[in-house]
């Protein structure tokens, strides 16, 4: 089982963590995940990425008030510092991350 506290909240105190919350079989989710992976590779050492399927972590819907699929949340220093809803172009994501970290 994925330990959200350890792998996202605690880890984000050392390095910002991008979390994509999505549904299996969701086309925009797949596209966004590929863009997030690419951005994370470009920013190697500056940000980490985790993708979590909502079907396996339904508690995240209430905890983080997820209303859109996919939802991407950036955690830094143990806190949510930004959120994206839906699929966006890679360069928009990269600029957003740079602005927040």
Query: Residues 46, 16: contact at Cβ < 8 Å?
Result: yes
Per the domain annotation, does 1 fall within a domain? no
Centre a 10 Å sphere on the Cβ of residue 64 and count the other Cβ atoms it contains: 16
pLDDT in tens, the chain (101 residues): 789 999 999 999 999 999 999 998 999 999 999 999 999 999 999 999 999 999 999 999 999 999 999 999 999 999 999 999 999 999 999 999 999 99
Per the domain annotation, does 5 fall within a domain? no
- List all residues 6 or more positions away from 11 whose beta carbon is below 8 Å from its beta carbon: 17, 48
DSSP three-state, residue 7 = helix
Per the domain annotation, does 89 fall within a domain? yes
Per the domain annotation, does 6 fall within a domain? no
Per the domain annotation, does 4 fall within a domain? no
Query: In degrees rounded to 5, what are phi and psi of residue 84?
Result: -120, 145
* CATH code, 39: 3.40.30.10
Per the domain annotation, does 3 fall within a domain? no
Range of the domain at 75: 13-100
Per the domain annotation, does 76 fall within a domain? yes
Per the domain annotation, does 42 fall within a domain? yes
- Per the structure, the count of domains in the chain is 1
């Amino acid at each position: 089982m994925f330990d959200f506290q350890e792998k996202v909240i605690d880890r984000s105190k050392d390095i910002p963590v991008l979390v994509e919350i999505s549904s299996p079989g969701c086309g925009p989710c797949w596209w966004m995940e590929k863009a997030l992976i690419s951005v994370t590779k470009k920013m190697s050492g500056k940000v980490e990425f985790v993708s979590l399927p909502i079907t396996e972590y339904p508690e995240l819907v209430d905890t983080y008030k997820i209303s859109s699929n996919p939802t991407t949340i950036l955690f830094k220093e143990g806190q949510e510092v930004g959120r994206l809803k839906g699929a966006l172009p890679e360069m928009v994501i990269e600029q957003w991350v740079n602005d927040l970290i």
